[in-house]
């Protein structure tokens, strides 16, 4: 059946059920949103209105929430008695995706329905994810993409039962979220004069301004779209480093208020970081207040990666500030800042999540670590009683090459094949059971320095995200079996027009 991710338990029985124009839908309490999703993803493409029915029967799809089930667990039964989807509190959108994959692949085609009857094999599935954090990050700072593409990425993530879209909304090269209180963040910070061409060391530029941003209204729409599909948007406002775009908009946020610093055009780590004055902290809290209004999820990502201290060391103002705060040195400044921001988020009922550099300053209570430099940050966090998401650059940075660089479009570097991704297991050996419990899951990273278009994002994302999704779901097994299943699954991607890397046959050893 080529299901991806592979369900935890599946048994087939002889027989076929058929979805037709006469099929009805019975939605129990709390299943209304999933019923709408089912009508959109399956009813529409099948040419069936899935009209409400009062009684479950052979010609109905029944949706029910069972609060006894784990949050994202679901059961799917297809038999002569009809179809029944039973989900935990967040399980039904996942069950809908499985039913969708059980239908012929042309259910994924746009346009007029190709059949009058849509067969589904009789099957019993009991399924639940191993990991609660199954994510994908898109860097919309290094390149801006139309909001429609963000909707599509949510759809594609949800198809693979991923449940987090982490949006890297700000960086040195662009600020992408409308903040009403600080309009220059997007008027100035969303635009750079030009973009690097070729590899970083070549120093070549295209001479073409690049920019764009998302309005709060667009982002609220994205949040709602994602929520209906079981996906939480995790916004990232990277601080106190990676802040050149904000400093370009408001120079007083930087070390020298009289310095005119353009939005960065080069990739890499920039030395200019936030000056940690009370006014800057007030700015950060004000920005976050608007972020919290738009993004209702529990987790707010504050970056924290790659914040050089050189500018702070050289700054008389900052050295005086460090003394005034009674800190041992500039090295302690980032930890002090992170603690304040974490307290602010906690005061609003949210949790700080950050890259593993935030460990150095001592983790604030409840903070979650995204371990990217290696798995060590995640291990250290878990052992210190903190939760962690494993995203070591190898194999979860999907901006890395996926095959021989000589035959691939330009990428930042590295090499992470589909098979490498499939072999990944998010819980490192050697963690005891309690610490292992705190490894929430894993996530793919699409840093976009070398991903200028949505099609190129798709090329780098698929099929590797199919593999990561199964790893995160917890049912990854032997690679050849997965690769064979992927050959069937790609028909779905073909109907959806996904610009995935071919040929998959080569990966499958055929
Ligand atoms: C990162 O790659 N700087 C998180």
For a pocket test of ligand 1, which of 234, 268, 447, 448 has the largest count of ligand atoms closer than 8 A to its C-beta?
447
Cα within 13 Å of Cα(88), Cβ side: 13
Which residue, chain included where needed, has tokens 């009789």?
122
What is the pLDDT, as a whole number, of residue 505? 55
pLDDT at 272 over 60: yes
pLDDT surpassing 60 at residue 221? yes
Summarize the confidence of residues 22-33 as an average pLDDT. Answer: 97
87 forms bridges with which residues in the sheet? Answer: 65, 74
Is the CA virtual torsion 254, 259, 260, 262 positive or negative? negative
pTM of this prediction? 0.97
> Could you tell me if the CB of 355 is within 6 A of ligand 1?
yes
Cis peptide preceding 503, ω within 30 of 0: yes
Pairing of strands 351-355, 368-371: parallel
3-state secondary structure of 38: helix
Nearest atom (ligand 1) to Cα of 397: 2
**Long-range Cβ contact pairs of 73-77 (< 8 A, separation 24 or more):** 73/126, 73/127, 73/128, 74/98, 74/125, 74/127, 74/128, 75/124, 75/125, 75/126, 75/127, 76/102, 76/123, 76/124, 76/125, 76/127, 77/123, 77/124, 77/125
Q: Give the residue-averaged pLDDT of 199-218.
A: 95
CA of 372 to the centre of ligand 1 (A): 6
Enumerate domains of the chain plus CATH numbers. 9-127 (3.30.379.10), 133-479 (3.20.20.80)
491 lines ligand 1 (CB under 6 A): no
Ligand 1 atom nearest to CA at 447: 2
- Token pair for 337: 């800042």
Ligand 1 centroid from CA 63, angstroms: 41
372 lines ligand 1 (CB under 6 A): yes
From the list 175, 170, 284, 294, the residue with the least C-alpha distance to 232 is 294
Answer yes or no: is the C-beta of 126 below 6 A from any ligand 1 atom. Answer: no
Pairing type for strands 74-79 and 210-211 reads unpaired
Q: Which residues are catalytic?
A: 171, 242, 306
Q: Is the CB of 267 under 6 A from ligand 1?
A: no
CB 351 within 8 A of CB 298: yes
Q: Are the C-beta atoms of residues 75 and 126 closer than 8 Å to each other?
A: yes
Cβ-based neighbour number of residue 436 at 10 Å: 14
Contact 105, 491 (CB under 8 A): yes
Q: Whose CA is nearest to atom 2 of ligand 1?
A: 372
Q: Provide the token pair at 296.
A: 């209702």
Q: Which pair of structure tokens corresponds to residue 473? A: 């779901």
CB 1 within 8 A of CB 35: no
Q: What is the pLDDT of residues 98-152, one digit of tens each?
A: 999 999 999 999 888 889 999 999 999 999 999 999 999 999 999 999 999 999 9
Cβ neighbours for 18, distance < 8 A, ≥ 6 positions apart: 117, 118, 119, 120
* Residue 275 Cα distances to 254, 321, 326, 360, 430, angstroms: 5, 10, 17, 19, 40
Atom of ligand 1 nearest to the CA of 370: 4
Residue 331 beta carbon below 6 angstroms from any ligand 1 atom = no
Please give the distance, rounded to the nearest whole angstrom, from the Cα atom of residue 416 to the centre of ligand 1: 17
pLDDT of residue 510: 45
Per-residue pLDDT, 114: 83
Mean pLDDT of the chain: 97
Q: How far is the CA of 205 from the centre of ligand 1 (A)?
A: 23
Read off the pLDDT of residues 378-427 as tens digits, 9 standing for 90 and up: 999 999 999 999 999 999 999 999 999 999 999 999 999 999 999 999 99
- Report helix, strand or coil for 13: strand
The model's confidence at residue 330, banded by pLDDT at 50, 70 and 90, is very high
Please give the Cα distance from 482 to 475 (Å, whole number).
10
Q: Residue 6 gets which letter from DSSP?
A: P
CA atoms within 13 A on the CB side of 22: 7
What is the reported pLDDT for 110?
85
Give the pLDDT of residue 356: 98
Q: 373 CB under 6 A from ligand 1?
A: no
Residue 113 has a pLDDT of 86
The model's pLDDT over 427-472, given as tens digits with 9 standing for 90+, comes to 999 999 999 999 999 999 999 999 999 999 999 999 999 999 999 9
Percent of the chain with pLDDT over 70: 99
List the residue whose alpha carbon is closest to atom 3 of ligand 1: 305
With the most atoms of ligand 1 within 8 angstroms of its CB, the residue from 169, 236, 239, 306 to mutate is 306
> Which atom of ligand 1 is the closest one to the Cα of 306?
3
User: What is the average pLDDT across 348-371?
Assistant: 97
Q: Is the pLDDT of residue 324 over 80?
A: yes
Maximum alpha-carbon separation in the chain: 78
State whether the beta carbon of 33 lies less than 6 angstroms from ligand 1: no
Mean pLDDT of 239-266: 97
Kindly state the average pLDDT of the residues 264-284: 97
């Amino acid at each position: 059946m080529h299901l991806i991710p592979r369900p935890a338990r599946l048994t087939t029985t002889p027989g076929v059920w058929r979805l037709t124009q006469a099929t009805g839908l019975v939605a129990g309490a709390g299943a209304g949103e999933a019923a709408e999703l089912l009508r959109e993803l399956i009813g529409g493409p099948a040419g069936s209105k899935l009209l409400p029915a009062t009684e479950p029967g052979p010609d109905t799809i029944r949706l029910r929430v069972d609060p006894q089930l784990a949050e994202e667990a679901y059961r799917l039964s297809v038999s002569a008695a009809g179809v029944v989807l039973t989900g935990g509190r967040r399980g039904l959108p996942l069950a809908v995706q499985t039913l969708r994959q059980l239908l012929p692949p042309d259910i994924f085609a746009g346009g007029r329905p190709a059949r009058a009857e849509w067969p589904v094999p009789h099957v019993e599935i009991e399924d639940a994810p191993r990991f609660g954090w199954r994510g994908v990050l898109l860097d919309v700072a290094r390149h801006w993409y139309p909001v429609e593409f963000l909707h599509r990425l949510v759809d594609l993530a949800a198809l693979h039962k991923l449940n987090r879209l982490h949006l890297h909304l700000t960086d040195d090269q662009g600020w992408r979220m409308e903040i009403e209180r600080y309009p220059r963040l997007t008027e100035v910070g969303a635009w750079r004069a030009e973009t690097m061409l070729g590899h970083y060391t070549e120093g070549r530029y295209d001479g073409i301004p690049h920019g764009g941003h998302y309005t709060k209204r667009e982002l609220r729409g994205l949040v709602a779209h994602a929520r209906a599909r079981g996906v939480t948007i995790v916004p990232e406002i990277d601080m106190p480093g990676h802040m050149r775009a904000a400093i370009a908009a408001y120079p007083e946020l930087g070390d020298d208020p009289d310095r005119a610093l353009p939005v960065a055009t080069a990739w890499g780590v920039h030395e200019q970081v936030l000056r940690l004055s009370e006014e800057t902290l007030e700015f950060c809290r004000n920005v976050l207040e608007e972020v919290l209004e738009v993004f209702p999820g529990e987790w707010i990502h504050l970056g924290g990666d790659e914040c050089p201290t050189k500018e702070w060391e050289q700054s008389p103002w900052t050295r005086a500030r460090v003394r005034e705060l009674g800190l041992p040195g500039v090295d302690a400044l980032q930890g002090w800042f992170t603690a304040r921001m974490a307290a602010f988020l906690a005061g609003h009922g949210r949790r700080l999540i950050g890259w593993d550099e935030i460990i150095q300053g001592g983790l604030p209570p409840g903070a979650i670590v995204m371990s990217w430099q290696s798995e060590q940050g995640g291990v250290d966090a878990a052992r210190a009683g903190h939760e962690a998401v494993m995203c070591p650059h190898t194999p979860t940075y999907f901006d890395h090459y996926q095959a021989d660089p000589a035959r691939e479009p330009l990428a930042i570097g590295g090499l992470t094949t589909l098979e490498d991704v499939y072999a990944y297991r998010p819980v490192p050996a050697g963690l005891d059971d309690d610490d292992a419990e705190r490894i929430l899951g894993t996530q793919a990273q699409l840093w976009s320095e070398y991903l200028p278009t949505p099609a190129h994002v798709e090329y780098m994302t698929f099929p590797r995200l199919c593999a990561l999704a199964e790893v995160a779901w917890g049912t990854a097994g032997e690679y050849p079996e997965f690769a064979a299943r992927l050959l069937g699954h790609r028909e779905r991607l073909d109907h959806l027009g996904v610009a995935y890397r071919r040929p998959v046959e080569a990966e499958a050893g055929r």
